[in-house]
Chains A and B, each alone.
Chain A
Amino acid sequence: MSLFGINWFRYSSPQTFYPLAGKLAPIFLTMAVMLGLVGFYIALFIAPTDFQQGEAYRIIFVHVPAAWMSMFIYLVMAGWAAVGLALNARLSFMMAQALAPTGAMFTFLALVTGALWGKPMWGAWWVWDARLTSELILLFLYVGFMALQSAIEDTRRADRAGAVFALVGAINVPIIYFSVKWWNTLHQGASINMTKAPSMAAIMLWGMLLLALSFWAYSIGVALLRVRCVIAERERESAWLGAAAED
């Protein structure tokens, strides 16, 4: 399959992907830094102060993009899992493995920034609103994926088992989100809704978008670096085992 004169299938083997990833990663990380600088500048200096929430509200510039990324990365991870299972492609499984820690990090970041926003607003470090609770459950799904992969010794089985779990989780994510929203409306005590952000001035949306793009570029760069580590580790393992077998 040839697109723009490049045979993409050539890169579907870990050995050929390794150098490509090494070349692409710095590009994405540089993009991440540049977009991040502009985004943070807008967030900290240009966006107007909210008269209700003061300066503290600015943390949503990190909270919202982090939450978006946590969900997006999970979907991409599940996508790679599906491709891996369908095509039996090792590299797909490795990409899923490489994405998980970054996704978990963004989920954790969304939770922490949510708490930091909540404290000055509601006086509590944690509120059980629909989105924060769904983020928490998403974190459990990431942790489950990583725990499953690290518990299984055989890499092939670990890849495939993780992939099955990632897909099952992905199908459940909309169900979980819906059920948490339902739960929220049922137990009427928690009428706090963090999605009722201060009404967005256009400039604020730009800030969030830029930071989201920055996080996205960062995720790709970091995932590429991590997949190189995964590739190197697996090659080292098989070379070591091959040498041991010859003894």
Chain B
Amino acid sequence: MNTLQIMRCLLWREIQLVLRRRSDLVSVLFFFVIAVSLFPLGVGAEPALLRAIAPGVLWVAALLSAMMSLGRLFAADHADGTLEQLLLIPVPLGLVVSVKVLAHWLVSGLPLALLAPILGLQFDLNAGELWVLTFSLLLGTPLLSLIGAIGAALTLGVRGAGVLLAVLVLPLYIPVLIFGAGAVVASATGMSPQAGLSLLGALLALGLVFAPFAAAAALRVSLE
């Protein structure tokens, strides 16, 4: 079995494990919906205000939902001992992490990005803005999974890991939030979303190169 076949096998395993516990997946999406609904309840339902805060609200809620799903990335494998075995397979750990992050994105990040425009309708965003919102989330959510993987790896098995993960990862999420929400805001105010989207794309390229490596280093530290 060569490297590509092993990675395909790992991807299959990851997706199978999620599909057999579908409630995990669904609860993250529900959290997204509930979190978004809290804002109009908190700030009042005045349409102009909602339209103005929509990009930020949708992005922050998506970001928090993505963060909540990170617990699933390594913790389960760590608890039953399979994570150790993944460090011993003939594939570089960085690639193993990339495959796990890809699977994680396919089942949490991607659905969030596809659900967002529907929620955007609640805030009266127009078609153009919804497109930019979806596209920015499609670029941003993989980044959230990549950066989150580093935090998840560092906090493996630590007491209070959930909150600690948030403290570590949210500051690192800020540039993603700024560029992503910024692109939507730009399109809403008549400017071109291109700047925000290309910056996001550049960050994604950087993340794809560095984050798996950093997460692999963090995993080795946590499993020593």
Contacts and interface: CB of A to CB of B under 8 A. Distances in A.
A182 B178 contact: yes
Nearest to A85: B217
Interface string B153-165: 0110011100010
Interface in B124-174: 150, 154-155, 158-160, 164, 167-168, 170-172, 174
Contacts of B186: 186
B167 A144 contact: yes
B175 A176 contact: yes
A161 B158 CA distance: 11
Contact of A148 (B168, B174, B185, B203): B168
Given A151-B159, A171-B210, A161 B154 contact: yes
Contact of A137 (B158, B174, B210): B174
Contacts of A171: 210
Interface residues of A, number: 30
A157 B219 CA distance: 11
A187 interface: yes
Nearest to A152: B158
A41 B168 CA distance: 40
A179 interface: yes
Q: How large is the interface on B (under 10, 10 to 19, 20 to 34, 35 or more residues)?
A: 20 to 34
B171 A141 contact: yes
B53 interface: no
Nearest to B151: A165
A26 B184 CA distance: 55
A183 B182 contact: yes
B201 to A, nearest CB: 14
A143 interface: yes
Given A144-B171, A151-B164, A182-B179, A160 B203 contact: no
Contacts of A178: 175
Q: Which of B167, B185, B221 has the most CB of A within 10 A?
A: B221
Contact of B170 (A140, A167, A168, A187): A140
B208 interface: no
B167 A143 contact: yes
Contacts of A169: 171-172
A157 B222 contact: yes
Contacts of B174: 137, 176, 179-180
Contacts of B171: 137, 140-141, 144, 169, 172, 176
Nearest to A188: B189
B113 interface: no
Closest 8 CB pairs of A and B: A179-B175, A140-B171, A160-B221, A179-B178, A183-B178, A144-B168, A161-B154, A144-B167
